[in-house]
């Protein structure tokens, strides 16, 4: 028997029990450790009855009546709270009454099981498919909805959630991620009381700037790292989003997730299907650490482009030159990069524009021809200079944007997003191109396609996006379709990303967006890494990267060593502190060798060499958070290799303690039966400085000891950091 067919038959058998009635009444979406259970009532209404740990026998969920709630709530038809779907039918009826039609389940390879539940309005030809992908090993569920209008005329969609999840607990706590440019991914938790809590974005583009499309929902108590019931969710969507948490008078909680319906009424023509973005979510009864590790494993396999591959250590010219460079300056930086041990040189903004040279952010954006004054020999010359020194070559682009002072704007003022009879709304002196227009989609794709075709040998592309939508008008869409812009623009950019990544699978792409503005799994499957913040200040980065780690793996999180004082915060910090926080993710550098002392150069060379040794563990290992910067003067976390033979532990002093911080650090994730040795790495040389963990070095410790008794060493200096390499006995060379 065909293996896939056999898997389907086995699965259906486990879901349906032994009778035909059960097959019509109960549906479960399960992974190895989680289960979402649904049932069909006698009136063919679909209800959620359970979401939690998977039972040894899921059929037991059918034994007794469980509290139930609509699996996908609709406006009208008796529902009195926020609805997942609100539509106006062809005859003006504002209600929708969905009834179960059928469901099908199929295995997609050995790890993914997709379940599709088909619903239909009780009267109208409106069909809704609830779609679930259950990733077995990673314990992540991906859910989206497909709404199809089979009526003779168009209908109007007002609300169109991707998921509708219900919970029953004594208390509910939600953690949201928020901030602004240069202070992204801050965390705050609050108790949900009766009523509605909304977490949303109305920005349309780089929509994560103020709030991020992910949440932690803790049931019964505030979220904890290693215990308690927690649900983590994140929306795979680069546009405006909304999470709606509603606690009803009976203390039931419903969570609606999806595209923000604000100003986004959508006309669905006859025969057309509206597909929502996916919500990715997981349930854990062992705290937030499990949630993060599940998302990281899922992301490396499915959510990030080339998630199981390698990442290069790059040197960027931006903070050294900004727009002021020429070939000689760049060749010098390339030469310095090679001597320092870097693997890639990135040419940032300012390399293009002739009629309107890109000498500042006020001109040239949109004119993607090489500036012949700055680079008379073109990009191929720089590629050759990099490659002959053993470096890869990368380049910066911002293809969705345009300066008013550009040839592109002169030719196509009708391509921008703006409102008629209103002044142009500029941010960073630039405007957004309207990707709801197919011609603009073609242009944006061709920008990247032409750059890569005309300059063979480009290995890396930094794809930036430095503003969001304000005057939300499209000169392409019809007057009655203007509210489509928010959705059509986001879908269009995802289409362009998909086309680019399919054509150039071996080119590494970074999603920049002025920081974490495009850090979502809708975009990330087309990008190898993301730029979490423009602010490389190490103290700020501790908090930014701490927040980002909850849903996004280190392999995608680019983190760079910058100059001191920092160009954004003005804060001065030791090179070691800056290096250590950058090494805790995907290492890169904006600080230039020409700006360094010989001592700093040597430290950096050694740091880069050390990072190459521990890179596999950091980029592909499991993350364990040890001490939170929100709760302690010291923060600590570690990465553990899959085979548990190696770990890297990062410690940062966040707030100076006058008596010194001697916090016990209990390690996690090790094999209790294995023997390990410890070594402090990235140490500053000379001046009689000894290892902070000298009493541990050269000795053998069991994983059980390190996780139960832990490590105690003092950290007392401002901006002090300690990085410890933990290796199975015999694998670490003592220095």
Catalytic residues: 464, 534
Strand order in the sheet with 46-53: 26-30, 34-40, 46-53, 69-70
Q: How many whole angstroms separate alpha carbon 634 and alpha carbon 625?
A: 12
Distance, in Å, from the CA atom of 692 to the CA atom of 680, rounded to the nearest integer, reads: 7
- Contacts with 48 (C-beta within 8 Å, 6 or more apart), sequence order: 36, 37, 38, 68, 69, 70, 71, 164, 165, 166
Distance CA 455, CA 448 (A): 11
**Whole-angstrom Cα distance, residue 607 to residue 49?**
53
Please provide the DSSP assignment of 100-152 as one string: EEEEEEEEETTTEEEEEEEEEESSSSEEEEEEEEEETTTTEEEEEEEEEE-SS
Cα separation, 284 vs 279, in Å, equals 16
With beta carbons less than 8 A apart as the criterion, state whether 542 and 629 touch.
Answer: yes
* H-run or E-run covering 24: helix 20-25
CB 453 within 8 A of CB 189: no
E strands present in 449-535: 460-463, 508-511, 529-531
Beta strands 401-402 and 314-316 are: unpaired
Q: What is the DSSP letter of 19?
A: S
Q: DSSP characters for 386-403?
A: HHTTT-EEEEEE-TTEE-
């Amino acid at each position: 028997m065909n293996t896939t067919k056999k898997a389907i038959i086995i699965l259906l058998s486990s879901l349906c029990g032994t009778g035909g009635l059960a097959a019509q009444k109960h549906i479960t979406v399960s992974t190895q450790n989680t289960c979402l259970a649904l049932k069909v009532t006698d009136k063919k209404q679909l209800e959620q009855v359970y979401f939690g740990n998977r039972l040894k026998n899921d059929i037991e969920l059918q034994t007794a009546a469980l509290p139930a709630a609509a699996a996908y709530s609709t406006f009208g038809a008796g529902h009195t709270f926020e609805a997942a779907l609100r539509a106006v039918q062809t005859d003006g009826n504002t209600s929708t009454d969905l009834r179960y039609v059928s469901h099908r389940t199929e295995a997609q390879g050995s790890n993914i099981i997709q379940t599709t539940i088909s619903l239909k309005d009780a009267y109208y030809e409106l069909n809704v498919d609830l779609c679930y992908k259950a990733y077995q090993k990673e314990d992540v569920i991906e859910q989206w909805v497909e709404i199809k209008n089979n009526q003779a005329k168009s209908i109007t969609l007002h609300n169109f959630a991707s998921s509708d999840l219900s919970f029953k607990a004594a208390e509910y706590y939600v953690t949201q991620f928020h901030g602004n440019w240069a202070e992204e991914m801050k965390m705050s938790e609050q108790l949900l009381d009766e009523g509605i809590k909304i977490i949303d974005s109305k920005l349309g583009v780089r929509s994560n700037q103020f709030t991020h499309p992910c949440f932690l929902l803790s049931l019964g108590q505030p979220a904890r790292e290693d215990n308690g019931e927690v649900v983590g969710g994140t929306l795979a969507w680069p546009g405006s989003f909304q999470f709606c948490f509603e606690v009803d008078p009976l203390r039931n909680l419903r969570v609606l997730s999806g595209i923000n319906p604000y100003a986004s009424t959508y006309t669905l023509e006859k025969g057309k299907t509206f597909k929502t973005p996916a919500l990715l979510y997981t349930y854990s009864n062992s705290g937030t650490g499990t949630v993060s590790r599940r998302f990281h494993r899922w992301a490396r396999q499915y959510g990030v482009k080339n998630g199981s591959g390698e990442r290069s250590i790059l040197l960027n010219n931006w903070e050294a030159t900004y727009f002021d460079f020429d070939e000689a300056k760049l060749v010098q930086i390339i030469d310095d990069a090679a001597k320092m041990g870097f693997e890639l040189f990135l040419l940032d903004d300012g390399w293009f524009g002739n009629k309107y040279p890109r000498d500042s952010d006020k001109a040239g954006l949109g004119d993607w021809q090489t500036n012949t004054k700055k680079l008379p020999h073109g990009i191929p010359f720089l590629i050759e200079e990099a490659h002959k020194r053993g470096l890869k070559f990368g380049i910066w682009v911002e293809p969705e944007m345009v300066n008013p002072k550009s040839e592109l704007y002169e030719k196509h003022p009708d391509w921008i997003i703006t409102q008629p009879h209103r002044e142009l709304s500029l941010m960073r002196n630039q405007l957004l191109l309207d990707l709801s227009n197919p011609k603009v989609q073609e242009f944006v794709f061709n920008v990247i396609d032409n750059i890569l075709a005309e300059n063979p040998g480009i290995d890396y592309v930094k794809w930036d996006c430095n503003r969001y939508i304000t005057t939300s008008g499209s000169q392409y869409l019809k007057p009655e379709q203007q509210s489509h812009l928010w959705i059509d623009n986001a879908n269009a950019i995802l289409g362009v990303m998909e086309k680019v990544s399919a054509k150039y699978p071996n080119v590494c792409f970074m999603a920049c967006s002025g920081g974490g503005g495009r850090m979502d799994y809708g975009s990330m499957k087309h990008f190898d890494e993301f730029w979490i913040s423009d602010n490389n200040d190490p103290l700020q980065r501790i908090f930014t990267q701490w927040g980002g780690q909850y849903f996004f793996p280190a392999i995608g999180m680019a983190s760079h060593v910058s100059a001191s004082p920092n160009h954004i915060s003005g804060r001065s910090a030791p090179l070691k502190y800056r290096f250590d926080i950058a090494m805790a993710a995907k290492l890169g550098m904006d600080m230039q060798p020409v700006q360094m002392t010989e001592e700093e150069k040597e430290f950096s060379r050694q740091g880069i060499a050390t990072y190459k040794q521990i890179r596999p563990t950091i980029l592909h290992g499991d993350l364990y958070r040890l001490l939170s910067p929100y709760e302690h003067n010291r923060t600590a976390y570690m990465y553990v290799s899959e085979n548990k033979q190696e770990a890297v532990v990062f410690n940062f002093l966040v707030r100076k303690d006058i008596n010194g911080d001697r916090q016990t650090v209990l390690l996690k994730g090790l094999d209790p039966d294995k023997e390990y040795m410890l070594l402090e790495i990235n140490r500053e040389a000379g001046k009689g400085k000894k290892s902070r963990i000298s009493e541990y070095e050269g000795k053998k410790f069991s994983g059980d000891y390190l996780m139960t008794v832990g490590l105690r060493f003092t950290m007392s200096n401002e901006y002090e950091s300690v990085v410890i390499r933990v290796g199975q006995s015999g694998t670490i060379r003592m220095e």
